[in-house]
Amino acid sequence: MRLLPLFAAITLSLGSTIALADDAPAAPAKVVVRAAHLVDTQSGTVRDNPLVVIDGDKITEVRYDGQVPAGANVIDLGSATLLPGLIDCHVHLTGDPNEVKGDYYEAILKRSAIDSAILAPIYAKRTLDAGFTTVRNLGADDYVDVALRNAINRGDIPGPRMLVSGPPLGATGGHADGTTGFSPWIEFHGIDGVADGVDAIRHRIRENVKNGADVIKFMASAGVLSAEGSVGAPQYSQEEMNALVDEAHRWGRKVAAHAHGAEAIKMAIRAGVDSVEHSSMIDDEGLKLAKQKGTYLDFDVYNDDYILSEYAKKGFPASTVEKEKMVGRLQRENFQRAVKAGEKMAFGTDAGVYPHGWNGKQFAVMTKWGMTPMQSIQAATVNAADLLDMKGKVGAVAPGYFADLIAVHGDPIKDVSQLEHVGFVMKGGAVDKNEIKR
C-alpha cells in the first residue's frame, strides 16, 4: 500500500511531461554565416561569397550559390573574410608574464595553484577572443589545466577547446623542477612532474592519465626560463625517453617534447615523440630524422621579441635574458631551414611566456622567416588539427566539422597581421564575439 502514493506521483509526473511535450519550444532554426570571402585551408585557396550553414554546434553545408535555406537566421559579416577557428598547439593558460609586475620571485614564493586557478579563466577568454578556438595546454602543476578544461566543457566559463597535459615530466634539477636554484631548506608543496628512471617515469605518466591528461609533455632538454646553466643539454637518457613514449602511447596519449638542443631533439625523435616543441638548435640530421619519422616541429618564433624587450623590466634573472639571446635568432634561422626542407610544422606559440591573447602576432614572424601567409594559416588549422588527432572536427570550414569560425576585416593572405585583430569568433555555433562592422 505504501507504494501506491509513489506510483501515483510518478504517473502524475509522467502524465504532466507527456502533456507538456506538445508545448515544448521548437528546435532552433539553422544559422547561416555569410561573408565576402572564405580561406579554404584544405585546398589552400580563397573562395568568394560563402554561405556556411550551421545546425547546432556543427557545420552542415558550405555553399556558394547565394541561396539561404528557408527559415535560417543569417549572420551577415559583409566584406569580411572567414576562416576556421585557429589552433595553438602550445600554450600555458595557467600563467602570464604580467603577473610578475617587476618582481620575479613574487609569483614563485607568494602565489599558489589557487591563484593560477582564479586567473586562468581570464586567460582562456582572452585566447578565445583572439580567435583561437582550440589549444593544447602543455604544462600546468596541480592539474589546474584539467580543471579549466572541464569547466569550459561543462559550459561554466567561456574558453577554447582544450587538450591538456597536467604537470610536465622532467628530471630532478631540470626544466620541470621548480625548486632548482633555491635553497634545499625551502619546501615547495604541490603536484609536479619530476621523475627519474624508467619505473618512476612510467608511474608518473599513469598518474597524469589517471588525473585527466589528454597528452604527455616532457622536458627532453634544459630551457630558457629555468635556473639550469644550459639551454639545450639533454636531461633524460635515451632509455628514459624511449620508455616515456612507449608508456604514453600504450595509454593512447601523444607526446610533446620540450627540446632546444640538437642532441636532445634527435633523442626525442628517435624515441618516437609526436611533436618537438621549440626545436631551436635542430641540425640537418634532426631535420632528416623528423621527416623520416613524421614528427611535427613547433617553433615558437614570436617569443624572442617579447622576452628580449620585456623580461629584464619584469625582474627576471639576467641569465634568462642571456639564454634567450643564445637561442632566439638561431631558432628563427632553423625555422626557415625547416620550411625549406618541407618539414611537418604546426603552430605553437608558448603563450603564457608572453601575454595571452597575443597568439596571432606569431603569424607575421612565421611569414618573415619563410612561410607564405597560407602556410602559416594552415600550420594553425589543418596541420595543427592533424597533430592533435582532431582532423574532421576542427581546422577547416567543412560539413561535419565543429562550427568554429573567425572573421577579419581585411585579407589575411595579403596581410597576415590581420589575424592579430580578429573581429568575429564563433565556437561550436555560439557567437563569442562580433565586432565586424559592415
Identify the burial level of 153 via C-beta atoms within 10 angstroms of its C-beta, where 0-12 means exposed, 13-18 middle and 19 or more buried: exposed
Helix then strand count (H, E) for the chain reads 13, 18
The answer to whether position 7 is within a domain reads no
Cell of 43: 585546398
Alpha helices (H) in 303-381, listed in sequence order:
303-310, 318-340, 361-368, 373-379
- Are 60 and 123 part of one and the same domain? no
**pLDDT of amino acid 111:** 76
The residue from 359, 380, 413 where one domain ends is: 359
Complete edge-to-edge strand list for the sheet that includes strand 430-434: 45-48, 37-40, 81-84, 405-408, 424-427, 430-434
Contacts of 394 (CB under 8 A, 6+ apart): 84, 85, 87, 133, 134, 161, 381, 385, 388, 401, 402, 404
Of 181, 140, 110, which is closest to residue 352 (Cα–Cα)? 140
The answer to whether position 405 is within a domain reads yes
The residue from 342, 359, 376 where one domain ends is: 359
- Are 129 and 43 part of one and the same domain? no
DSSP state for residue 69 in the 8-state scheme: P
**Which segments in the chain show pLDDT lower than 70?**
1-29, 100-105, 108-109, 177-180, 182-183, 189, 227
The answer to whether position 379 is within a domain reads no
The answer to whether position 303 is within a domain reads yes
Question: What is the C-alpha separation between 231 and 307, in angstroms, rounded?
Answer: 15
Sign of the torsion formed by the C-alpha atoms of 392, 394, 400 and 402: positive
- Contacts of residues 114-121 at CB distance under 8 Å and 24 or more positions apart, as own/partner, are 116/140, 116/141, 116/142, 116/144, 117/144, 117/147, 117/148, 119/94, 119/95, 120/93, 120/94, 120/144, 120/145, 120/148, 121/148, 121/151, 121/157, 121/159
The answer to whether position 176 is within a domain reads yes
- Are 335 and 205 part of one and the same domain? yes
- Are 319 and 277 part of one and the same domain? yes
The answer to whether position 375 is within a domain reads no
Amino acid code (one letter) for 181? G
Q: What is the pLDDT of residues 64-84, one digit of tens each?
A: 999 999 999 999 999 999 999
**pLDDT of amino acid 134:** 98
Q: How do strand 405-408 and strand 424-427 relate by DSSP bridges?
A: antiparallel
- Are 131 and 229 part of one and the same domain? yes
- Are 135 and 215 part of one and the same domain? yes
DSSP state for residue 189 in the 8-state scheme: -
Overall domain count for the chain: 2
**φ/ψ bin of 394: left (φ > 0), alpha (ψ from -120 to 50), beta (otherwise):** beta
- Are 48 and 147 part of one and the same domain? no
- Are 236 and 250 part of one and the same domain? yes
The answer to whether position 369 is within a domain reads no
Give me the domain span that covers residue 53. Answer: 31-84+397-434
**pLDDT of amino acid 272:** 98
Q: What is the pLDDT of residues 216-230, one digit of tens each?
A: 999 999 788 776 778
- Are 242 and 336 part of one and the same domain? yes
The residue from 359, 388, 422 where one domain ends is: 359
- Are 243 and 344 part of one and the same domain? yes
Question: What is the C-alpha separation between 123 and 355, in angstroms, rounded?
Answer: 9
- Are 253 and 353 part of one and the same domain? yes
Question: What is the C-alpha separation between 29 and 410, in angstroms, rounded?
Answer: 30
The answer to whether position 348 is within a domain reads yes
Cell of 44: 589552400
Terminal-to-terminal C-alpha distance of the chain: 69
- The domain that holds 63 is classified in CATH as 2.30.40.10
- Are 50 and 96 part of one and the same domain? no
- The domain that holds 281 is classified in CATH as 3.20.20.140
Question: What is the C-alpha separation between 379 and 356, in angstroms, rounded?
Answer: 19
